[in-house]
Amino acid sequence: MFPHIANALHTQLRRNEPRWNTRGTAEALFADEVEDIALFPHKEEAAAMRVDALDKLKGSTSSLFANCISIALKNGALSEDDWIEALRTFCKAEKLDEPEMRIMTELYKIRITTFWDLISNLDAAIVESLLLNQAGKLREALYEG
């Protein structure tokens, strides 16, 4: 499902670039209060998903995502900054072909499993804060050169 949603998002980003790719004033990022939920119970499945995604990236020749692929393969994970770079590349790309969308899907899987590991012992308010901070960093990255 991710590739379909990401492809639709990319199409809309391209159509509406003048609206989002101009620095201006923006509303502050905030979220409604969230409640803590049970810990993520699928650690083994998440670990297997990450291994599978890393295997699928081996031998990838995408120049667009080359740096992110290299980092993911080297570290077995994607940090917040690495993920922001992938998202910035995704948002700014003129066109993404099917292999690049598959690469983005695998990078997404690596990032979410990395994030799950990071937040496994944090309460919901801290997780929400991390996500809002990441969204703010992405906003800033989109306006950089």
Q: How many CA atoms lie within 13 A of 28 on its CB side?
A: 3
Q: Would residue 107 count as lying in a domain? A: yes
- Cα of 74 vs its chain's centroid, Å: 18
What is the count of structural domains for the chain?
Answer: 1
Nearest-angstrom CA–CA distance, 70 and 62: 11
Enumerate residue ranges in the chain where pLDDT < 50: 36, 38
Enter the pTM of the model: 0.77
**What's the confidence (pLDDT) of residue 20?**
65
Share in percent of the chain as helix, strand, coil (round to 5): 70, 0, 30
Residue-level pLDDT at 41: 55
**For residue range 33-65, what is the model confidence (pLDDT) as tens digits?**
555 454 555 778 888 999 999 999 998 888 899
Residue 128 placed within a domain: yes
Inside any domain, residue 29: no
pLDDT at 83: 95
21 within some domain: no
Instruction: Please report the pLDDT score of residue 144 as a whole number.
Output: 73
Please indicate, yes or no, if residue 49 is contained in any of the structural domains. Answer: yes
**pLDDT score at 135:** 87
Owning domain of residue 127: 41-143
CA 122/CA 119 separation, integer angstroms: 5
Cα–chain center distance at 68: 11
Q: For residue 25, tell me if it sits in a domain.
A: no
Q: Is residue 6 part of a domain?
A: no
